[in-house]
Amino acid sequence: MIVVSVIIGLVAVVMASQWINKQTNVAAQKVVVASMDIDLGSKLSPEMLRSVDWPSGSIPEGAILDPKALDGRVLKTSVNRGEAILESKLAPVGTKGGLSAVVMEGKRAMTVRVNDVVGVAGFALPGNYVDILVNTTDDAKKGQNNDASISKIVLEHILVLAVAQEASRDDTKPKVVNAVTLEVTPEQAEKLDLARSVGTLSLVLRNQVDPKPVQTAGITKQVLLRGHDEPLPPKAAEAKPVKKHVKVAKKATKPAHTAPTVAAAQTCVEIVRGTSRHRECF
């Protein structure tokens, strides 16, 4: 029994050794990864990169195999240490470093001034999405109501590129800053520029996975306090000129001996005093 056990143990050791050799002999290929945490907009250099063995059957699409091909390229997203450098994370060849490399094609970067309240207490961080709210005066209602103030969401689902001079998207701690850079289309940039010139802006932080737009009519002071707009004052009726028709009556010739007539509207009373009587009309 002891001999049999020894033989079975030797067979098991040989089989385990063969299995381990097969696992270590899996085909591998060199893939370039980050040797440190790299922020978006950074220009890559050799000291930021290193090559590691990667199983050939699981190499991600767009992986870079030659470190020299990344010299001078710019990242458009942040990369963590040990993460593979993919072509989809790189800005086009020839792009210079900085925030301009992060702006998507067809978009623009625009900065607006904020404070601790407008900036959502510092929670509007790079990578978050916000709505733009403007508080202004509706010129169409001036003179009709005492207060024509209105608050309206003018832009929705706007990406925050940077806060102040920081564009890192890895931080979650709120930062109170005085300026926020937003990624907008040219049409949105025009709306944003007009909105900040005619009223006061506020940022509204929204869920990152909720891109659905919501159309609102805005809120006025009358609706806020009374639940509905006050009816517009009726327009004063225009006074129509009154045309006076004057009839010219021909003067009738009066007979020479015509007794004076008493107007029908007069009231007559007969007064009796003793044996005398007389009639008075008034």
Mean pLDDT of 3-31: 83
- pLDDT per residue as tens digits for the range 169-213: 767 778 888 889 999 999 999 999 999 999 888 899 988 888 888
| Domain end position, chosen among 60, 79, 100 | 100
Q: Do 130 and 36 share a structural domain?
A: no
In a domain, 209, yes or no: yes
Q: Do 213 and 114 share a structural domain?
A: yes
Q: Which of 42-56, 157-171, 261-275 has the highest mean pLDDT?
A: 42-56
Q: Do 81 and 114 share a structural domain?
A: no
| Domain end position, chosen among 35, 70, 100 | 100
What is the maximum alpha-carbon separation in the chain?
179
CA 282, CA 266: separation in Å to the nearest integer?
5
Q: What is the extent of the structural domain holding 51?
A: 27-100
More confident residue, 9 or 40: 9
Residues 6+ apart with CB under 8 A from 187: none
For residue 33, the domain's CATH number is 3.90.1210.10
In a domain, 260, yes or no: no
What is the model's pLDDT at position 231? 54
Q: Which H helix or E strand runs over 194? A: helix 186-198
Q: Do 151 and 72 share a structural domain?
A: no
In a domain, 148, yes or no: yes
Mapped onto helix, strand or coil, the DSSP state of residue 153 is: strand
DSSP 96: P
Confidence label for 241 from pLDDT (cuts 50, 70 and 90) = low
Closest CA to 102 of 203, 210, 181: 181
Distance of CA 169 to the CA centre of its chain: 20
**Residue 133 contacts residue 212 (beta carbons within 8 Å):** no
- pLDDT per residue as tens digits for the range 123-168: 888 888 999 999 988 877 666 555 678 889 999 999 998 888 777 7
Q: Which residues pair with 163 in a beta bridge?
A: 166, 180
Q: Which H helix or E strand runs over 137? A: strand 129-137
Q: Do 114 and 93 share a structural domain?
A: no
In a domain, 139, yes or no: yes
| Residue 244: pLDDT over 70 | no
In a domain, 4, yes or no: no
Q: Do 199 and 181 share a structural domain?
A: yes
Q: Do 86 and 125 share a structural domain?
A: no
Domain count, the chain: 2
Mean pLDDT of 249-258: 50
In a domain, 219, yes or no: yes
Q: Do 220 and 162 share a structural domain?
A: yes
Per DSSP bridges, beta strands 200-206 and 276-281 are: unpaired
What is the model's pLDDT at position 10? 92
Q: Do 180 and 94 share a structural domain?
A: no
In a domain, 43, yes or no: yes
Q: Do 173 and 95 share a structural domain?
A: no
- pLDDT per residue as tens digits for the range 63-88: 998 888 888 888 888 888 989 999 88
CA 4, CA 123: separation in Å to the nearest integer?
71
In a domain, 149, yes or no: yes
Q: Do 185 and 89 share a structural domain?
A: no
Q: Do 165 and 78 share a structural domain?
A: no
Mean pLDDT of 9-15: 92
| Domain end position, chosen among 100, 127, 152 | 100
What is the model's pLDDT at position 24? 63
